[in-house]
Amino acid sequence: MSPGRSRPRRPIERLRAICLAFPEVTERMSHGEPTWFVRGRTVFVMTADRHHDDRVAMWCAAPPDVQEHLVAEAPDRFFRPPYVGHRGWLGVYLDVPVDWDEIADHVEDAYRTVAPERLVAQLDER
């Protein structure tokens, strides 16, 4: 396992901390899974804890063409999630060795993809 990768015992808690660090993000259950919303309305990250298969994963909004590229490059780590994959969302397995800095980057991309311009500007001011 490379130095930046780890397999946490509770990946959802680690993901939760990353998601909740963004401006005006809330969490609530959606379809039986923890899900994170911008301004309580727009989903940017959701979890899948053995919901559709025997895997633990996150699904996140993604910029154009990212899903296709990452799934082709590393299908052991990325996938096209059901229901939202046709809209370019990215599936990321969390039950494999995970680079949490990379996960944070995907979460930030997801946030930037769906958040209003004013909230994205707040990120750029940090």
Number of domains in the chain: 1
pLDDT digits (tens, 9 = 90+) for 44-63: 999 988 666 778 999 999 99
Residue 6 scores a pLDDT above 70: no
- Which residue range forms the structural domain that includes residue 36? 5-125
Provide the CB-side half-sphere exposure for 30 (13 A, CA): 15
- How confident is the model over 71-75, as a mean pLDDT? 97
For tokens 């990379």, name the residue: 102
Kindly write down the DSSP assignment for every residue of 71-101, as one continuous string: HHH-TTTEE--TTTGGGT-EEEESSS-EEHH
State the pTM of this model: 0.89
Q: Whole-angstrom Cα distance, residue 55 to residue 12?
A: 13
pLDDT digits (tens, 9 = 90+) for 76-123: 999 999 989 999 999 999 999 999 999 999 999 999 999 999 999 999
Residue 7 scores a pLDDT above 70: no
CA 101 to chain CA centroid, nearest Å = 12
Cβ atoms of 35 and 28 within 8 Å: the answer is: yes
CATH of residue 21's domain is 3.90.1150.30
